[in-house]
A and B are shown apart, each in its own frame.
Chain A
Amino acid sequence: MLFPTLTFHVFFIAVFALVWACRDNSALDNEWRKIILLVASWIFYGAWDWRFVALLIASGILNWSVGEMICRAREHGSSPEANRTAKRWLIVGVAVNLTILGFFKYYGFFLEQLNAVLHTAGWERDLPIMEVILPIGVSFFTFQGMSYQIDIYKGDTERASLLDITLLMSFFPHLVAGPIVRPRHLVPQFQSVPKLTTSMAAAGITLILWGLFKKTVIASELATNFVDPLFFDPAAHSSLDLLLGAYGYSVQIYCDFSAYSDMAIGIAALLGYRFPWNFNQPYRAHSLQDFWRRWHMSLSQWLRDYLYIGMGGSRHGKRRMYFALMMTMLLGGLWHGASWNFIVWGAIHGGVLVLERVWRDVRPKQWKPVPQWLAIVGIFHIVTLAWIFFRMPGFGDAIAYIGGILSLRGGTLTVTPLMVALIALGLSFNAFPRDTIQHVAMALRRAPAWRVAAFAVVSLVVLEAMRPDGVAPFIYYRF
């Protein structure tokens, strides 16, 4: 069930009506509200594959149970023995989560690599490779479950009920592609009675319409009519086409993923819940560190808090910090999928992050820093280069694409004026006044309902006229 479809529209109206039918402020009504949301989330997830709803439920129970065991161990005081028991439970919980993730996501990949190694060593027979179907959103809900366990262990979050934890992991707006919402952010909201204010409703409407525009017009149009054919057969296209295709993919993935986040935040707002920011004009970043403060912020903050700091961060000297940075980005790359290209993507980001730190340390003080605009252009090109590896199925394909750009090959230009305009438009979003969407929402919240309805209908009719036939799944659904 994709957000920009009529099926989801009908589903959401039904859920909205049921959820807000529980208007009593009593705790009992709030529990019913959460149960409705939980069942709705399972229906939403089951629309892809009913079998994996059981996985979702099992994962929720697992994470809650481990959290309970950690809390119970701590109930006996903070003696070293109690801490050791709590730590043992944490290790078990994280290991089970990683096993689930590893089996569904990396089993085939690692077996293929093992086969290749065995072949090199002279082993003639292939190991049996099982076709494992990847459950949608497994990386997202597993990470959320792990963060509950770790936060409980560290004392960063309160003990939550089974219902709250299962709902945290299953809540349909963020279930399949984030944002990765932390327990300490969402569980307190689940525990109190949500309220829909005019501000939240206006922000929700604006974010949904904005997300629909980015997804259905820019991302889908670019993907269908320009980027996909180019990346499918780069050898048949000129260097200029390939260069514009790389820019096009940068815009496509930004508009696609940020559109999902915007719509998820908007949908959650209409149900009375606040989700955090996930994107903040990433292509205006003047360093890669800045880029990661702006791109998929919920993932980068997760990686920072649970991986980078866990590996020592900057507390144990520079070398250790560089190592932690590189490993974090490599694992972040691997999180996206089982492919060498994602590892290369992570390595590019990790390498440049390390270089930035090294340069900051060794740059002579009399040297002026690079002008901001030049830094922004440079970082955008580094990110775009990394996206080529991210987009291509194999390492050789990505190298061939980059080779095609560098060869300065001539040929017929396939890029159309519309595609150039869409690329420029997508990039210009990063230079917009910063609070444009919020300002639109602030104007809407003061307007009467009929005017907002007219605005929404006109926007939706225009979007319907502009969208290509069909809806391509969001890029991040496969992660």
Chain B
Amino acid sequence: MDDKTEQEQPKAKARTGKGTSRKGTSGATAPKAKTRSASARRTTAEEAKPPRKRPARRTADVEGDTAAKPVPARKGKAAAAALETKPIAKKAAAPAEPKPPRQTQEDRLPELPPAPAELHPIGFLGEGPDGDVTIHPVPPHLPSSHPHDEGLEFGLSPVDLDPDVRVREEAGLGWFIRILALSSVLLVLFNSFAIDKWAREQPVTKLNSQVLIAAHQLHAEMKSFHLDAPLEGLRSAWHGIRDARWPGSAANREKAADHSALK
């Protein structure tokens, strides 16, 4: 059990904005923008790896973001780590501060769908000790280190892949439906054995008898075209590996004796 986490309840962390070392100070936005890539290079390998998260969407029109050029994918992690330390001023905090120059159209990433309520376009909002708003690429109550190092906090998911800043996070439904349709057709062709095996395991009833017959016929048909050859080849190779015994073992000696008797 983990008594450490008891003292770090999410609520408390959210209130205090965990990870003070990552927080910037008020008004430091513009000068930091230039040095960001250099500081990102200086970070250690572990720091450069952001915890897995819901893709942190990066838009150019976030106030104070002066380095909105698309980052090459290989530098994506370092860039994301650099984003961790980026403070943005609260809207009402410093009205006199000049606004950073607007981005040109080429600098902007494609328009992205609106982020969920709790997710800032480039991360999660936290509040610094001076009242600054700080952006974290993970929710402020979650650990700042790589999730594999400290134990994963509840809430992170293996389906949260690192954001790919090169490509727009597309709707995957059509993409997956194409995969599903294509793979189903290919499996019917090349893995009809599985359908036949399933059919043999079913109790025959009036309702399903036609389906079961069709499954057997399908397998026979595919076999006649030798489409089951890859599967059968792999199966026999796997059975060979499964039947292998240690050199000099009793089973091997028996096998050898059988061989010589046959000869």
| Chain A positions near chain B (C-beta within 8 angstroms) | 5-7, 13, 16, 20, 23, 156, 182, 185, 188, 192, 195-205, 207, 221, 225, 262, 265-266, 269-270, 274-277, 280-281, 289-290, 292-294, 297-298, 300-301, 303-304, 308-309, 313-315, 321, 324-325, 328-329, 353, 412-413, 416-418, 434-435, 437-438, 441-442, 445-446, 449-450, 452-454, 456-457, 460-462, 464-466, 469
Contacts and interface: CB of A to CB of B under 8 A. Distances in A.
B156 A277 contact: yes
Interface residues on B, range: 35 or more
Interface in B10-49: 11
**Residue picked from A308, A416, A434, A446, most chain B C-beta under 10 Å:** A416
A353 B1 contact: yes
Contact of B173 (A196, A290, A453): A196
Contact of B159 (A207, A298, A315): A207
Given A200-B172, A304-B1, A280 B151 contact: yes
Contact of A203 (B159, B183, B191): B159
A120 B2 CA distance: 41
B151 A197 contact: no
B244 A313 contact: no
Given A280-B148, A453-B179, A453-B182, A438 B154 contact: no
Contacts of A412: 249-250
B130 interface: no
B164 interface: yes
A221 B157 CA distance: 29
Contacts of A195: 113, 171
Given A277-B158, A353-B1, A418 B151 contact: no
Given A198-B175, A456-B179, A303 B191 contact: no
Given A321-B3, A449-B182, A265 B167 contact: no
**Residue picked from B150, B173, B230, B245, most chain A C-beta under 10 Å:** B173
Interface of B: 1-3, 5-7, 11, 52, 54-55, 113, 116, 118, 146-148, 150-152, 154-162, 164, 167, 169-173, 175-176, 178-180, 182-184, 186-187, 190-191, 193-195, 197-198, 230-231, 234-235, 237-238, 241-242, 244-246, 249-250
Contacts of B186: 453-454, 457
A221 B169 CA distance: 39
A96 to B, nearest CB: 26
Contacts of A465: 231, 234-235, 237-238
B230 A461 contact: yes
Nearest to A7: B198
A188 B158 CA distance: 18
Given A7-B198, A435-B52, 18 more contacts: A13-B184, A196-B176, A198-B172, A202-B161, A265-B159, A276-B154, A276-B157, A293-B2, A294-B151, A301-B154, A304-B2, A328-B1, A453-B186, A460-B187, A461-B187, A461-B231, A465-B234, A465-B238
A308 B9 CA distance: 14
B3 A442 contact: no
B55 A199 contact: yes
B155 to A, nearest CB: 6
A449 B175 contact: yes
Contacts of A301: 154
A225 B242 contact: yes
A416 B239 CA distance: 13
Nearest to A156: B11
B246 A417 contact: yes
B45 to A, nearest CB: 12
A197 B3 CA distance: 37
Contact of A434 (B148, B155, B175, B182): B148
A231 B140 CA distance: 47
B1 A274 contact: no
Nearest to A326: B1
Nearest to B234: A465
A15 B57 CA distance: 30
B244 A203 contact: no
Nearest to B7: A314
Contacts of A452: 179
Nearest to B236: A465
Contacts of B155: 185, 276
B159 A274 contact: yes
Given A202-B172, A280-B152, A304-B6, A446 B159 contact: no
B160 A198 contact: no
Contacts of A456: 179, 183
B1 A276 contact: no
A280 to B, nearest CB: 5
A277 B194 contact: no
B6 A314 contact: yes
Contact of A464 (B151, B170, B184, B193): B193
B158 A265 contact: yes
A413 B246 contact: yes
Contact of A197 (B5, B148, B169, B250): B169
21 contacts: A7-B198, A185-B155, A195-B171, A198-B175, A201-B179, A203-B158, A262-B158, A265-B158, A276-B156, A289-B1, A297-B152, A304-B1, A309-B6, A313-B3, A314-B3, A416-B242, A417-B244, A442-B164, A449-B179, A453-B186, A461-B231
**Residue picked from A324, A460, A461, A469, most chain B C-beta under 10 Å:** A461
A304 B154 CA distance: 12
Contacts of B234: 461-462, 465-466
Given A6-B194, A280-B151, A201 B175 contact: yes
B158 A6 contact: no
